[in-house]
Amino acid sequence: MSHYSKAEQDDWLTIYLKYLLFVFNFFFWVGGVAVMAVGIWTLAEKSNYLNILASSTFAVSAYILIFAGSLVVITGFLGFSAVVREQRSCLSTYFSLLLLIFLIELVAGVLAYIYYQRLGEELKQHLTQTLTENYALPGKAHITHSIDRLQQDFQCCGSNSSTDWQQSAYILSSESGARVVPDSCCKTVTFECGRRDHPSNIYKAEGGCITKLEQFLADHLLIMGAVGIGVSCLQISEPKHS
C-alpha cells in the first residue's frame, strides 16, 4: 500500500512539475515576443535618425534584442514540445538555450544602459558637425533625409539653434538658393521657404534638435535596457523552481 502511495505521489509530482514548466514556458514565450517587439519598434521608430548617430551601439542593442526575442520564440516552441512529449534531451537543450538567451538579453540591456550614459555628449560632439559638413552634399542623401525628418518630426531647427546653419557648407554654397536654413526648418514646408528665419516661419525650439533627440533616444534606451535586463533576470530565476 505504501509503495502504491509513493508511486502515486511521484505521479502527482511529475504532473505538477510538468504543468509548472508549461506555465513558465508560456510566460517565457510571451516575454520573448515582448523583447522582439521592443527591438523592432525601436528600429522602426528611429531608423530615420540612425544615420546621424556617431555610434552604432544604439542599433546594435536593438538588433540583439530582436535576435534574442526570435530565439526565445523558437525556444518556447521547443519547451512546449519537450513538456508534452516528456523528452529529457529536449529539456536539456531547452535549459541550455535559456542560459544563452539570458546572456544575450543581458548584453543588450547593458549596452543600452551604457550608451544612455554617454548619449548627450555624443550628440553634442557629432550632430552639429553632421549638420554643417554633410547636409545636402553629394553622396550624403541618406544623412540629408535623416536631418530633414529630424527637424520636421521634432519641430526644431539646427543642432542647438537655427544659427548653427550659418556655418553649413550647404547654406554657404550657391546650391542653397539664398536660403539661410533648410526648408525642413519651416513650419509649413514650401520650396525655398528657408530664405526667412523669422520665428513666424521656422521652428525655434529651446535647446535645438539636440535636446529633443537626446530625450527621445534616452526614453527608448531606458525601455530597451529595462526590457533586456528585466526579462533576462526573470528567465534565469524562474527555471530554478521547475
Buried b / exposed e over 205-223, threshold 16 CB at 10 Å, is: beebbbbbbbebbeebbee
**242 residues of the chain, pLDDT tens digit each:** 445 455 555 566 666 666 777 777 777 777 778 778 877 877 776 666 767 766 666 677 678 778 877 877 777 777 777 666 666 666 677 777 777 777 777 777 777 777 767 766 777 778 888 888 889 888 888 889 989 998 999 999 998 899 999 999 999 999 999 999 999 999 999 999 999 999 999 998 888 888 888 787 777 667 766 666 666 665 555 544 44
- H or E element in which residue 86 lies: none
Domain residue ranges of the chain, discontinuous segments joined by +:
1-86, 119-241
Count of residues making up the chain: 242
Q: Which residues contact 130 (CB under 8 A, 6 or more apart)?
A: 52, 143, 147
pTM: 0.62
